[in-house]
Amino acid sequence: MYSLLPSYALLLSLGCSSFVELIDKTSPNFELSRKKNYCSKTSFQLITDSPSLNDAYNKISSALSRPKPFDRFALLALLHLYYSPHVASPTSNFVFFSAKKGKWRYMAFDRHSSKLKYPFLVGLDSLSKLYKSRYRLTTLAALIDRHHSSLPGLSEQSTLFIQKNKDKLNKSQHFKHFYKKGDYLLQSKESFKFQRLSAWMKKRIKTKKARPHKKRPHALMPYKNERIKKFNTQCNFDMKPYQNHPFPSPKSPLPGVQFMIEYRNELFIGLLSQGPHLKLISKTPFFEGKEKSPLPHLCALFSKAKPKRPEVILSSTDGLDPGQHLYNLLQHPIEQKKTPQEFDDLLSSPRHLFLYRHPSRLLFESDRASKGELENILSLGLPIFHSMGLSQVVAVKTFDKERLLFADDRHPMGLSCR
């Protein structure tokens, strides 16, 4: 354990990676009391933002006849419209990643660069053509319309967003139609009534087969990490600002949702995010997003010996700076973890977040820290604030020939195994 720690001024010159190394060298000899965050030896794995989404998926997907793996993913994606309509909306930015038998695909759809009015649904429909789905997207939407009673209620995040902005939203009759019952505002786990998703999509979502990812406005960018020499790291955002010090901090958090499914050795990952306006899309209960919102963050590690197979995939949403958490994780030997439990322990260890604006400060998950880590943090000589649930990080890692999905135990995520 280090007894001498840098002053605040020296910390600013050290850089974020040096600070991560300081924390890492204090061995966390403690155990977190938590639920299991991954499956073991199963042909089907599912992660969503909530157990209620898993329940809805299980009920509605049972009506599908011989669905392809992408059909399952597309149905799962559409269900998020009813759970977090302020984040999961037709206007949301949509990041997609898939992997199967030594092949992988990354694609991203957003309003600004892709010049799409409804990037989430257009992207999903394009992908359904690319994967030659058995079910059209509008057919899956019609299935959801018929099983409206099985849909998940509103997420706590959407409920808080609506409650916070209720005075402005209540001025809209359109909003009142979907989100109010008399004078009563819908609460968490309650559902709005909208059984015209298929009809609405038929008039607005018309796409051709999606193009290869290299021709789209977004592609993964290499991140040169000197610590990980046997792997190539690629991310969908620029890591350079995190390697310099200080780096700009976002002014406000960007909400997002994550969902992924592994079925018969085929992996699909979906990430959605948007900065919502206080306005609903015409004739729907879904909130319209701001045109210029950053994409959800994703990084993938590829072994140089097997460059076509991603060994580790990390995705991050929510919070003030999701990218900083992925950068911090990549300073740890995540690729060297030999067992699922070791990898899960690392993901569950305390996170920190530097905010470099006046006043500069550090947010730290002190409730997850060992005594030694707390002593290190308190000795830094800068303003430190306890925080819970910094960001939401979901991961995928390959152990020999077995690929496992890892949920984030900081949030009540849904994990299904069978």
Return the number of other C-beta atoms located less than 10 Å from residue 261's C-beta: 24
pLDDT given at position 226? 79
Length of the chain in terms of residues written: 418
Q: Which of 218, 235, 309, 202 is nearest to 265 (CA)?
A: 309
Asked whether residue 251 is assigned to any structural domain, the reply reads yes
Asked whether residue 304 is assigned to any structural domain, the reply reads yes
pLDDT given at position 150? 93
Q: 190 is in which domain, residue-wise?
A: 31-351+389-417
For 268, phi then psi, to 5°, come to -130, 130
Asked whether residue 23 is assigned to any structural domain, the reply reads no
Q: Where are any strands of DSSP class E within 10-156?
A: 44-48, 93-100, 103-109
Edge-to-edge strands, sheet with 256-263 = 103-109, 93-100, 266-273, 256-263, 44-48, 414-417
Asked whether residue 362 is assigned to any structural domain, the reply reads no
pLDDT given at position 358? 66
Asked whether residue 97 is assigned to any structural domain, the reply reads yes
Number of domains, the chain: 1
Q: What is the pTM of this model?
A: 0.89
Q: Return the DSSP state at 129.
A: H
Asked whether residue 121 is assigned to any structural domain, the reply reads yes
Asked whether residue 127 is assigned to any structural domain, the reply reads yes
Asked whether residue 310 is assigned to any structural domain, the reply reads yes
Question: Which segments in the chain show pLDDT lower than 50?
Answer: 1-19, 22-33, 211-217
Q: Where are any strands of DSSP class E within 292-399?
A: 297-303, 310-317, 352-355, 361-364, 384-386, 392-399
